[in-house]
A and B are shown apart, each in its own frame.
Chain A
Amino acid sequence: MPLEKLYQFFSSLRLTVLLLVLGMVLVFLGTLAQVSLGLYRAQNEFFRSFFVYWGPPGASWRIPVFPGGYLLGALMLINLIAAHWRYFRADWRKSGIVLIHAGLVLLLLGQLATDLLSVESTLHLREGEAKNYSEVDRRVELAITEVTDPAYDQVVTIPQRVLERQGEVSVSQLPFTIRIRKFYPNAMVSARPADATEPAPADQGVGPQVVLTPLPHVTEMGKRDVPAAVVELVTPSGSLGRWLASEYISQPQRIATGGRVFTLAMRPQRLYKPWTIRLLDFRHDRYPGTDIPKNFSSRILLTDPRNGTEREVVIRMNSPLRYGGETYYQASYDPDDQGSVLQVVRNPSWLTPYIACSMITVGLLLQFTIHLFRFAGRIVRT
C-alpha cells in the first residue's frame, strides 16, 4: 500500500531527526549568507522560500540545492501532526508531550503569519515635527501630485511592485498615461560631468543634467537599495517626454500640461494612519566622560481625532508604545540629537509566540512533574 507507506514515512521519527538536522544546517547557511547578501536578502532566500537556489556567479540559471525555510517548516508540521496521530494514546502521562508539541505547532504557524502579515516601517521626526504616516524603508513609490490649486494637493502614487513590471499606468485623475520605460532596483544619480559621453537617462526635468549608474544590490547592514525609474508621460495629443525619478533628486520636478501643474517625485512608500504623532523632545544620555549611550527616549504627543485621544507618551529602549494595532519602538536618532527614528510594526499575530511559549513551558513543567511523581512513587513502593 503506497498510501500506508507514505503515512509511515511522514510519521516516522527518522524524518523528524532528518528535518531537525536539515533545519539546523539551513539556519547555519542562512547565517553565513548574511555576510555576503545582507540580512534582508539572506532571509528571503533561505528562510522565506521553498528552496534555496544556487547558480554559478554571472549565470542566468539557478538550480534548487537545499530545502528552504517554508518547505522545512511545512514538512515539520506534517511530520509532527502525523506522528502524533499515529502514536497518540489518551494517556494523561503523555499530556505534557502533547502540549509541548501543540505549542510548537502554534509557534511555527504564528511565525508564518508574522512573515506574511506583519508590516515594518519607520517614522522619522525632528523635534516639534508631526506626521500622520510612516515610511516603508525598502519600498519606494512614484508620487505624482497635482499642485494646480495651491490650497489643495491631489496625490497619485504608484507602488514599487507596479514600477517593477515596467508597464503602463493610466488613472482618471491624471490627463496623461504613465509608461514605465525602465526600472532600476538600485542606481546612483549624480551630476553630469562636462565630459560625459553616454546618453542622458531622460530628456525632461533634471534628466539631461545627470548621469544614472545602475548598481548591484546593497548587502551591508543599515544601508538599502535606492531604486530609480525612467517614465514617459503620454497625453492623447502626444508625448511629454521622458522623466527620471529617484530619491537622489531632492526637488520634485514640475510638469505643466493643458493648464494643470503636477510634480513628480520618488519617495519611500508611505503608510497613512488616522492619528498623528508629534515629537516633543528627544533625549540621548551618555555615560559621563564617554560616548557610550546610556539611554535614548522620545517624548511624543499622540492625537487621534476619531476618539479625542491626546496624550503624551515617552518611548524608550525596551519600552515601546502600542496603539491602534501598531507598536512604536525607539530605533535610532539623528546625529545632532534633535531628531528621532521610531520603528513602526503592525503585526496582527504578535501574541502567538507568547501563547505558544506559555503552552510549551506548561508542557515541560507538566512532563517533569509527572516524571518526578512516578519516580517518587517508585521509591515509595520499594
Chain B
Amino acid sequence: MKTWFLRALPWALLAVFAADIVAILLPRPEGEFHLQAFGRLPVLANGRVQPFDSLGRNCLLQIRGTAAVPLEEKKSYEFWKHPPKLRATEWLLEVMTRPEVADARPIFLIHHPDLLEDLKLQGKGVEKSGLHYFAFNDLKPVLARIESEGRQAMSVESQARTAYQRQVAKLFNAVALYQRLKFTLQPEGTRDMTVELDELSKSVEPGLAALRARQAGREFDRAPLDRLVEFLRRYDTMAQLAYAWVVPPPSADAPREHWQNLGQVLFQAGMSGQAPPEPVRWLAEIASGYTLRDASRFNRAVHAYGEWLAAHAPAELRKGRAEFWYNQLQAFLHAMIIYLCAFLLASIAMLTVQAWPTGSESLRRSALYLAILALVVHTAGLAFRMWLERRPPVTNLYSSAVFVGWAVTLLGVGVERVYRMGLGVAASALVGFVTLLIAHNLALGGDTMEMMRAVLDNNFWLATHVITITLGYAAMFFAGFLGILYIGLGVFTSLLALKLHKEGEAPQPHPKPFGPDDIAAATLGKALAKMIYAVICFGTLFSFAGTVLGGIWADQSWGRFWGWDPKENGALMIVLWCAAILHARWGGLIRERGLANMAIFGNVITAFSWFGTNMLGIGLHSYGFMDAAFRWLLLFYATQLAVIGLGLLPLDKWRSFRKASVQQAGTGAYVAEPASGS
C-alpha cells in the first residue's frame, strides 16, 4: 500500500475523533422552550447544589436506569437508528409541572416475573429487549401493594434480600422519588402556579385577621380562615415531601446552606403574611409557562431568574452552569469509546508485525495517538470533576474506577514511549475501556458526586491514602493485563521469540536499559517480562504506602492502626502477593512465564480487594454494595483462571517457544525502531 497513506492514517484518525469531541463542545441551539437555560439553573438536592439537568439525570437514572426517555421504541440491534428522546431536563419539567403527561411515560423498570404477576402488570407497559417499562398510571392501582411489599423488603438487610425483594425495594424507592419530585415546583393539582401565588397573597390577610379574631375570642369569618388553612395544609405536605430544594439563600451574603424548599417558603409566607422572596415568583412563572405551553413566558422567566441569581447567588449560578457543561461533555463515555478503538488498532498492529511491518507500524501509531487523545479527554473530565466537587479525584467507588482507568492508561502511554511495540497501548487501553465501562454502570445508581459522610470528609486523607491505594490497584491491573498479553502472544503466536534487533547492533551498555534494544531484553518476551516486573515494583510501592497511610488514618479516626476490616485485608492481600512475586523472582523460583501467571492472579486479588470486599457487606468500608456486579466479578475470575490455565501449558506447546518458530522469528525481517532514534 502507498506509504503516504500509511503515514497519514494516524493523523487522519486522530483528526476524526478530535473533531467528534469538538462537535460536542459547540453550543446546541435552543428549541422553542429554552430548556438548556432552565437545565443550567441551580437547585439543592442530595445535600449539594446542582443544576436541574443533574437532578433530572440522577433521578431518571435511579428510576429508569437511563439518562433519557426514548419516545419511540426501536429494536436493540438497530443501533444506527436514533429515535427521538425526551432529555432528562424536559422529563423533570414534565414531572414537576405537567404530572398528567409524565404519569403516562413508561419509566418504571420491572423485570422480575413474580413481581409482574404480583402486581398484575402482565400485558401492560412497554417491552424492550426483555425489559418491561411501566408508566405511573399503570402502577396507580397497585401503589398500596408496592408500598407494603417495599417496606417489608427494606426491613431485610440489603445483602440478605432475595432478587424479588431487591427488585421490589428498588421499585418502591423509585415510586417514592417520583412522587416527591412532583412537589418541587407546585403543590398537587395546581394548574397555574402564578395564579395560585396571587390567590395565596389575596387570602393571607383576611385569613390571618380571622385567626387573630378567633384567638382573641372575638367573632370571626369562617370562610377566609378555612381558605388559608387549606393553602397551608397543601404547603406543609409539600415541605415534608419535596426532594429538591429550589429556593436559594435570599441574598449574596446569606449563609450558603440556607436553601429552602418551596413548601417551606410558602408555608412561612402564609403564616407571617409577608410576600415570598423573589425567586418564588420566577419559579412560579417557569412552572406556569411550561404547564400552559407558553414558551415566551417560560423563557422570559428562566432568563429573569438567571439574572436574579447572577446578582444574589453568583456562586450557585456558576456551579449550575459548570456542572451542566460537564454533563453535556460526557468525557468518560467518549474516552471509553476511543480506548476501545485504540485497543483494537494496537492488537491488529501487534498481530501483523511480522506479516506487514510498515502497516503494523502505522496502526500502532494510530493506536498510540488515539490513546493519547482519550487520555486527554479522560484527564479533562477528571480535572473538571475535581474542580466541581472541590475534592481529590477519588471519593467513591465510581470515581475510583475512573481513576484506575486514567492511571493505567497514563502508565501504558509511558511504557509505549519506551517500548514502541503496541503492548503498552493494547493492555492499558483495554483496562481503560473496561474500567470506564464499570464506572458507567456504577453511575446508573444515581448521583456520583454525593456528599462525603462525616468520617470520609477529609481532603488530606482522600488525597493521600485513597490516591496511593488506587494507584496500587491500577498498577496491579496493568501488570495483570500485560501478563495476559504475554500468555496470549506466547501460546497463540510466535511473537514472544521475536528478536528486537539484529545481532550485535545494540550499543552496550545502552543509556536506556529498559528500552527494547537493551541486550538483556533481547526478545519481545523478555521485554514484556521486564515491563511486568517494573510495573509490579511500582504496584508494591504504592499498595504498601497506601495501606500504611490507611492504617495511620484509621489510627487517627478510630484509634487502631489495623482493625482487620475487609477493605484493609484486601489491601494487605495485594501487598503480600506483590511481596511473594518479588521474592519468588529474586529467589529464582519463577521466570518470565511464572511472573506473567502470578501477575494475572494479581488481577484476581486486586478485583477482590476493590469490589469483592464491598460485596461482603460488612465492615466500615462497605459503602457501595452491589449485587448484580457479583456475577460479573465471578465471570472475570473465571476468565483470569482460564488464562492462567493456558499459561501453565508446557512451554513446547507454546507457538513462541517451539524450535521452528524461534528460528523463523529470529531471522524475521522485522527490526524494531530503536527507542533512542527518530
Contacts and interface: CB of A to CB of B under 8 A. Distances in A.
A289 B245 contact: yes
B44 A317 contact: no
Contacts of B579: 20
A17 B585 CA distance: 10
Contacts of A57: none
A327 B558 CA distance: 9
B163 interface: no
A372 B587 CA distance: 23
Given A34-B616, A292-B47, A357-B552, A27 B583 contact: no
Contacts of A5: none
Contact of B257 (A118, A221, A288): A288
Given A329-B557, A347-B559, A294 B454 contact: yes
Nearest to B508: A382
Interface in B603-636: 605, 608, 613, 616-619
Interface string A4-34: 0000000011101100110110011011101
Interface stretch (B12-20, B394-402, B566-574): B566-574
A47 B548 contact: no
B605 to A, nearest CB: 7
Nearest to B510: A382
A155 interface: no
B44 A288 contact: yes
Q: Which of B572, B579, B605, B617 has the most CB of A within 10 A?
A: B579
B451 interface: yes
Interface string A362-382: 001000000000010011001
Interface residues of A, number: 56
Given A34-B566, A34-B616, A288-B245, A295 B457 contact: yes
A24 B583 contact: no
A66 interface: no
Nearest to A353: B561
B47 A13 contact: no
A256 B184 CA distance: 67
B564 A111 contact: no
A254 B595 CA distance: 71
A375 B512 CA distance: 10
A23 B556 contact: no
Contacts of A204: none
Interface residues of B, number: 61
B560 A345 contact: yes
Contacts of A360: 544, 548
B455 interface: yes
A303 interface: no
Nearest to B256: A288
A354 B552 contact: yes
B557 A27 contact: no
A317 B47 contact: no
Interface in A120-141: 120
Interface in A332-370: 343, 345, 347, 350, 353-354, 357, 360-361, 364
Contact of A353 (B458, B513, B551): B551
Interface string A275-297: 00000000000111110111110
Contacts of A74: none
Contact of B587 (A14, A35, A42, A329): A14
Interface of A: 12-14, 16-17, 20-21, 23-24, 27-28, 30-32, 34-35, 39, 42-43, 47, 111, 114, 118, 120, 221, 286-290, 292-296, 317-320, 327, 329, 331, 343, 345, 347, 350, 353-354, 357, 360-361, 364, 375, 378-379, 382
Closest 5 CB pairs of A and B: A287-B47, A13-B587, A345-B559, A20-B580, A24-B576
Given A14-B587, A42-B564, A118-B560, 11 more contacts: A23-B576, A31-B613, A34-B619, A39-B565, A294-B451, A295-B454, A295-B457, A318-B553, A343-B559, A347-B559, A347-B560
12 contacts: A14-B587, A17-B580, A24-B577, A28-B569, A28-B608, A39-B619, A118-B560, A287-B46, A296-B454, A320-B556, A361-B545, A382-B511
